[in-house]
Structure 1
Amino acid sequence: MEIDAAASALRRKQSAYLSLDETFEIQKEMYRGQQYSQIYFARLHMMRTLLYSLVPNWKPHVPVCTVLGLEGGKECIIVGTLYKHMKLKPTILDEYSKERSAVPLVRRHNFMDPLDHLVLEDESGRVKLGGSSLSPTSYVTGVVAALHGRETDAGDFLVQDVLEAGLPSQLEFPLKSREDKYVVLVSGLSIGSSTCNPLQFQLLVDHITGHLGDEQEQGIAAEIVHVVIAGNSVEIPRGILNRQNLASKDLSRLSEPIKELDILLTQGCLWISCQGRMTQQTLPCLSSLSTDAFSLVHQLTTHLDLVQILIVLSLTILGQNIDDLEKYSEAKNKLEFMERTLRWRHLAPTAPNTLGCYPFTDRDPFLIESCPHVYFVGNQDKYETQTLEGSEGQLVRLICIPNFCETGTAVVLNLRNLECHTLTFGTSV
């Protein structure tokens, strides 16, 4: 009777949420006849309207003009998209030569060079930028900004000051409870890879579902209300995908990691709400077990209860927007890259230049219209976190989620106060 009473006292807390993935969903996928220039036009149009509204408070007495309207020596403000000329930037011919090379070439971690320079472009033309106010090391292709300066005799634009969009306005933190409620963030499971340790993920599942530890630890597990699995969940052997016609044994190997993930997700879905949708596209390859469980979970969730979470997801590599910034610019850490994307109001400014994305024609879905309370990226080398404060009092929790396969570490976020800590599982004796 005592055991039954203790078991009945431990009930998992609940917290509903609203999926905001619609912005990223592609209704009618089509590539033929679509140009990537359209996404740049949409980005420039939206961001220029915003920057024009900020200019009067920034430089009220300086005129705004286009690149074509520049006059030598006359101070003005121009608004456009930055393009970064990079000597070491890879090209398709470089990639082809690497594939044909008998000796594997070492891939560079960063493509920065002292000769890199920035250009600003609008519909009327482009102009090379100079001056020390705009460092090429801190910017990448695709950022829209307002620049104050003047045209030099050489035809360049000498930048004196820079205006970025800054953090957008933030909705009031919708805190409705003083209870601790936790969201577990995990990424980089890499099920199917040679380095994957299935026992580590099983320990995580057992902890979340309350099958590990004493009554106190089970009580803590009962406060976990959501689990976000943030990309890179399975890894398919590259050798299999290189063949056009797959043998039956290869098909079996191809599906094994997905089946293993499906079984583990099913265990979690029976006990807790697992967020299985991607903010870009849904994951159609799960088998019926977890798919049915996810359907039930989504039917039960109807509104955003505690916090608005901005989830940066990709079907293959979550956090690749930050990883791409690291290749083409410099910062002291990943958190600084994350902060820049918020101040630029764009999740992936390097897309589609060096980061692949769908060629949207009528919009740029990666523009940040509302400041999140939590902003995280997955598949990072290590766990990092800090809070960022905007000029209007916005507060954002920045989180780098480490690769679980390599570190055995997940991140736990408290929805009550947005504090976070790590959960680490080891299997060595």
Structure 2
Amino acid sequence: MESMEIDSDKVQQRKQSNYSYLDERFEIQKEMYRGQQYSQIYFARLHLMRTLLYSFAPTWKPHLPVCKVLGLEEGKECIIVGTLFKHMKLKPCVLDEYSKERSVTPLVKPHNFMHPDDNLILEDESGRVKLGGSALSPAIYVTGVVVALHGKETSAGEFFVEDVLEAGLPPQIERPLDLQEDKYVLLLSGLCIGSTSSNPLQFQLLVDHITGHLGDDEEIGLASQIVHVVIAGNSVEFPRKLFTGQNLASKDQSTLYEPIKELDIMLNQVRKYITNTQKPKCVLTNLIHRPFSFAQPLNRCLFPGSAPYNTFRSCTNPHSFDVDNIRFLGTSGQNIDDLEKYSEAESKLDFVERTLRWRHLAPTAPNTLGCYPFTDRDPFLIETCPHVYFVGNQDKYDNRLLKGSEGQLVRLICIPKFCETGIAVAVNLRNLECHTISFSTQIS
């Protein structure tokens, strides 16, 4: 590990850490679209989640039988397990794009598509049934969530829900308690290099802080404790005027590459001061804004300055990794932004917490959130509870310490857009506490 030379008399040694890459399940080994159907993801999701919920049923409602939708009998209480479908009046339809071209009146595009008349339907392989009662709120749930329901069929053919069972937080690997010193993972997102809102000086201040060239001795000492940097999405932004559907001229192609080139230069500066000659321990993770789960590791040729070094890694979106046996899981924010369109909550952290309790990173994929049509699995199921769960590109910073029924302890973090706020988030591996580091170029 290279040292950070501050002056001729003082040398600050950067701390060491162990790193493990855990993104294999999100990677597409052999990309193919012909003949593949999105139904396979739902089948895989229902199969695994139903097996789990069935195992909870004897403890939850030991006196009730478990039925399929097709086996429901009027007035007979039972438990059914299936995938929720949310019928929404305001949900955008592909035909709206056609009508927009034909109509003089512009279509309204609300931020949230909720309506008081929305209702929920539960379906399994045998059939589907409309849900009634107040125990299951359409405002909270979205299409794609697998739940167990206690209730009975009414004379109107609805299933009146009396109680709901979610999967809850998954099991968590034991958090190491022998970490005696402070080490930090730095989380940031929304650099938006190439956009009008991007501030190169602000990003340079961040780089100077990480590399130990900014602040007094105390600040430099804190910088030496940063062992891992995650850039969680929207790192670059391209001029919209270039995307006209036509082939790009050579001049436009050069303009298109400029934001990536600038990002590579910045990352290379950090790379020089977070180095190591063995296996990757201090890694720069870069999630550039692309559709959810289509964001496979970006080709290393895009980063000629940074990619040759083992301290740089381009990863998938979502992204999972261990640092000193502390499990991190995160996305660049599209899964939470999509939940906000089709359900309601008091804060973004409520959406983040729901995905953990549903044990699914993106329940709305592939219904309203684009993803690759996996045929053999649903990679977004959360089988192991992380210690830190982060989402990028949010409007403001927020965090919460979530405690599970089996002793799980999870730090939930909303990372704000750096280009708008100048804020990065530092997470302490020793105790999961976090704080913000703010960079401003404004003169008071």
Scaled to the shorter chain, the TM-score interval is over 0.9
CA distance in 1, matches of 2:101, 2:152: 46
Alpha-carbon distance change, 45 to 104 in structure 1, aligned in 2, over 3 angstroms: same
User: Contact between 2:112 and 2:340, CA under 8 Å: does it hold in 1?
Assistant: yes
Deviations 1:229-267 (A, max 9, x none): 001000011111223211111111100000000000111
Query: After the TM superposition, which of the residue ranges 392-401 and 264-273 deviates more from structure 2?
Result: 264-273
- 2:420 is the alignment partner of 1:418: no
1:72-221 equivalences in 2 (<5 Å): 72-98=74-100, 105-221=107-223
The answer for the alignment partner of 2:3 in structure 1 is none
Work out whether residues 268 and 274 of structure 1, in 8 Å CA contact, stay in contact via their aligned partners in 2. no
Distance 1:101 1:380 in 2: 34
Q: 1:99 to 1:256 in 2, by over 3 A?
A: farther
Q: 2: distance between equivalents of 1:20 and 1:51?
A: 26
> What is the match of residue 245 of structure 1?
247
Q: Give the letter for the 2:410 counterpart.
A: V
- Tell me the residue number matched to 2:16: 14
What residue is the counterpart of 2:284 in the other structure?
A: 275
CA deviation map 1:26-65 (0-9, x unaligned):
0000011100000000000000000000000000010000
Q: Supply the AA of the counterpart residue of 1:170.
A: Q
Q: Which residue of structure 2 lines up, in the alignment, with residue 315 of structure 1?
A: none
| 1:287-310 Cα shifts (integer Å, max 9, x gaps) | 3111112x3556xxx975241111
For normalisation by structure 2, the TM-score amounts to 0.91
Match of 2:278 in 1: none
Q: Judging changes above 3 Å, is the alpha-carbon distance between structure 1 residues 421 and 304 closer, same or farther for their aligned structure 2 residues?
A: closer
On the 8 A contact 1:176/1:305 being kept in 2, the answer is: no
Q: What amino acid sits opposite 2:85 in the alignment?
A: Y
C-alpha distance in 2 between matches for 1:423 and 1:330: 30
Whole-angstrom distance in 2 between the partners of 1:125 and 1:181: 52
Aligned-pair Cα RMSD in Å: 1.8
Unmatched segments (≥5 aa) in structure 2: 1-5, 275-281, 288-292, 314-320
Match of 2:378 among 364, 367, 392: 364
What secondary structure sits across from 1:225 in the alignment?
strand
Specify which of 289, 300, 308 is matched with residue 292 of structure 1.
Answer: 308
Contact kept in structure 1, 2:149 and 2:164, CA below 8 Å:
yes
Report the residue type matching 1:286 in the other structure. L
CA distance 1:202–1:401, shift in 2 (3 Å): same
CA distance in 1, matches of 2:69, 2:7: 76
Rounded Cα–Cα distance in structure 1 between residues aligned with 2:136 and 2:158: 13
1:319 is aligned to 333
The equivalent residue for 1:266 is 268
The answer to whether the 8 Å contact 1:151/1:158 transfers is: yes
Tell me which amino acid in the other structure corresponds to 1:310: L
CA distance in 2, matches of 1:401, 1:325: 17
CA gap 1:277/1:187 in 2 versus in 1, 3 angstroms: closer
The structural deviation recorded for 1:281 is: 1.4
Instruction: Please name the residue that 1:389 is paired with.
Output: 403
Q: What code does the residue aligned with 1:60 have?
A: P
Aligned counterpart for 2:326 among listed residues 291, 298, 307: 307
Contact 2:231 2:286 in 1 (8 A): no
AA aligned to 2:8 is D
Give the distance between the partners of 1:103 and 1:246, measured in 2 at CA.
Answer: 33
**Amino acid corresponding to residue 296 of structure 2 in structure 1:** Q
Contact 1:67/1:127 (CA < 8 Å) preserved in 2?
A: yes
- Aligned AA for 1:290? S
How many aligned positions are there?
417
Q: Distance in 1 between matches of 2:406 and 2:192?
A: 40
Q: Conserved in 2, the CA contact under 8 Å of 1:388 and 1:396? A: yes
2:390 maps to: 376
The 2-side partners of 1:303 and 1:229 are apart by 16
Partner-residue secondary structure (3-state), 2:308:
helix
Aligned partner of residue 288 in structure 1, secondary structure: coil
Q: Secondary structure at the match of 2:147?
A: strand
Q: 1:309 is aligned with what amino acid?
A: F
The answer to whether the 8 A contact 1:82-1:142 is kept is yes
CA distance in 2: counterparts of 1:28 and 1:409, whole angstroms: 38
2: distance between equivalents of 1:181 and 1:195?
31
Question: CA–CA distance in 2 between the matches of 1:164 and 1:75?
Answer: 19
Name the counterpart of 2:318: none
- Segments of structure 1 that go 5 or more residues without pairing to the other structure are 313-317
Q: By how many angstroms is 1:98 displaced? A: 4.2
Q: Secondary structure at the match of 2:71?
A: coil
Q: Which residue of 1 is the match for residue 316 of structure 2?
A: none
| Farther off after superposition, 84-93 or 244-253 | 244-253
Q: Secondary structure at the match of 1:194?
A: coil
**What's the CA shift string for 1:152-174, capped at 9, x where partnerless?**
00000000000000001111102
1:335 and 2:339 matched: no
Which of residues 43, 58, 61 in structure 2 aligns to 1:59?
61
Conserved? CA contact 2:191–2:419, under 8 Å: yes
The 1:127/1:106 distance shift into structure 2, 3 A limit, reads: closer
1:346 touches 1:368 (CA, 8 Å); kept in 2? yes
What letter is aligned with 2:399? T
Contact 1:379 1:403 in 2 (8 A): yes
